[in-house]
Structure 1
């Protein structure tokens, strides 16, 4: 069952290509869970800065991390930001240059993030990040050193002001162009995890964990 998200603000409302807009939480969560890479837009010293980083979701909250001493982490809790996540699914090859397009799924989230200061919440969020990438990995790792924990900043943003855009399917050409002897269609893009490559200093007898070894059997982007 699809659960409708709250009506987005005017800034989150999709205007161009509105027929591709989706605001339901099922679509929103599926895209965020499928693509860990995001781009976060800030204003730093009066200038726009867009930083790529990893994001992960817990319920209706989006998290990302960075160096606790970075300007972006320090400034983010004092300003509105824009977080984007995009997945390219294929090239849409039409009978005219104007009607070429791409199949894609994207999310734009607006809001003012909060810095996670509570140590237990912060540790739980970092664990969720690792588990979202490699399930079962956190408990196999050595515990974080205090200096590592201090050096890592975690931001959280409510997903209450978000919108999605999705395009799928074949090209849409002008009616008269369908009679032209020109090939048209879709060139799908599917990313796949490769075979794990052990670090050259892995100790003898240490086998690749099953959770890592099984990655090549599935798609790169979760949820596809």
Structure 2
């Protein structure tokens, strides 16, 4: 999709349209910083919204799970799906209760998901899931076995219909409310990682050559950040 291409009728922002952003780079940045998406669909007349992990490769979003997953089995029927990702950047405190708000960046993707059947593409998608959460991790860990690949469903969703919505800045009070002697402003928020905790299981396992205590915590874990 060309970065300058106009949004579809379904992805055109109607509520506060000045916050809309249809640039591919904006959409990619939000998706790449987020960790969990909300997948909305209708199954037998009942609406569902399921949180799940995801990964992006170029202009395609991937979601995965067990073949027993109700969500994935439903999406395989070719129904419309709505995927959303939201990053909360701050609380906006106004002088009136009515004008309190939040600063955020969000993306909504609409479309139809399809099953990834090609083994090589499936492996690329699974690598994208891992690298999306922990960049640099895939090259260090054991790759999925044939049995694990067979026991994992991967669906792809093109980013052909996607839009972003962003709010930044401070409160927007009514003119008269600026005379109220109450503090107003922003409380910035961000996702912060704490100290990694080493998994010590396996220390006493027969044939175990290296104690987990001897394995240095990787830089990508000690310096983990979503910014």
Same-fold call, TM > 0.5?
yes
Q: Which runs of 5+ in 1 are unaligned?
A: none
1:169 matches 2:169: yes
Deviation for aligned residue 1:113: 1.1
8 A contact 1:44–1:71 mirrored in 2: no
RMSD of aligned Cα (Å): 1.5
Match among 196, 208, 216 for residue 207 of structure 1: 216
Structure 1 residues 67, 5: closer, same or farther in 2, change over 3 A? Answer: farther
SS in 2 for 1:40: strand
Rounded Cα–Cα distance in structure 2 between residues aligned with 1:92 and 1:139: 41
Cα distance in 2 for residues equivalent to 1:197 and 1:19: 44
Q: Which has the larger radius of gyration?
A: 2
CA deviation string 1:7-42 (max 9, x = no partner) = 222221111111111101111111001102100001
Q: Moved runs in structure 1, 4+ residues, more than 3 A? A: none
| Cα distance between partner residues in 2 of 1:181 and 1:212 | 45
**2-structure distance, mates of 1:197, 1:140:** 18
Q: What CA distance in whole angstroms lies between the structure 2 residues aligned with 1:30 and 1:157?
A: 17
Q: What's the offset of the Cα at 1:147?
A: 2.4
**What is aligned with 1:80?**
80
- What CA deviation, in whole Å up to 9, does each residue of 1:68-89 have, x standing for no partner? 2212112213111000000111
TM-score by length of 2: 0.90
Matched residue, 2:159: 159
Match for residue 15 of structure 1? 14
Distance 1:112 1:48 in 2: 16
Unaligned runs of 5+ in 2: 204-210
| Alpha-carbon separation, structure 1, partners of 2:101 and 2:133 | 30
Q: What whole-Å deviation, never above 9, does each CA across 1:170-205 have from its counterpart, x for those lacking one? A: 100001111121111011112211111011216412
Deviation string, structure 1 residues 38-95 (Cα, Å, up to 9, x no partner): 0000111221111101111111111111112212112213111000000111110001
Cα distance in 1 for partners of 2:185, 2:218 equals: 41
* Change in CA separation of 1:5 and 1:68 when aligned onto 2, cut-off 3 Å: farther
